[in-house]
Amino acid sequence: MIERDAFLAALAENEDDTTTRLVYADWLDEQGEHDEADRQRKWPAAKEWLVGFCAANNHGPDEEDPYEWVISYADLLELGREAVAGADKDGFGFSCGNNMTMCDALRDNSAEFWRNWSIVTGVPLPPGGAERGGFHCAC
């Protein structure tokens, strides 16, 4: 497992190193870990989608709404982790605080959000997948 540790250390140092990530995916294929290899190949596009989603749906505090929460890429990853960890028979989800723009965008793009979130985090979705994930606003 020395090779795996080296790949993971390099990616921990620079998660956006696409070359290392793709070489790691090839190595995973050689080890017979095809699902993880596929996830690693999808990772750069999934992260790009999530970062772009945050940029497009965070307007931040302004004169119109000085209390609007900004939900960063890192915040979205953590909120998703907490939601999935707390999943129950009724589903899972999280609050967007008072960021109604983000909340509406997450509702409109729920399946794509959860798919990309799962790829980036490597955390599988609970049974029922993205259809059970929801979002609410504290507004």
pLDDT > 90: percent of the chain: 71
Q: Higher confidence at residue 32 or residue 66? A: 32
Strand-pairing partners, residue 126, are none
Q: What is the tally of structural domains in the chain?
A: 1
Question: Domain range spanning residue 69?
Answer: 2-136
pLDDT per position as a tens digit, 67-116: 667 888 999 999 999 999 999 988 999 998 888 889 999 999 999 999 99
* CB-CB neighbours of 87 under 10 Å: 16
**pLDDT the model gives residue 121:** 97
**Token duo for residue 11:** 């990616």
Among residues 56, 103, 59, which one has the least CA distance to residue 79? 103
The CA distance from 64 to 67, in Å, is 9
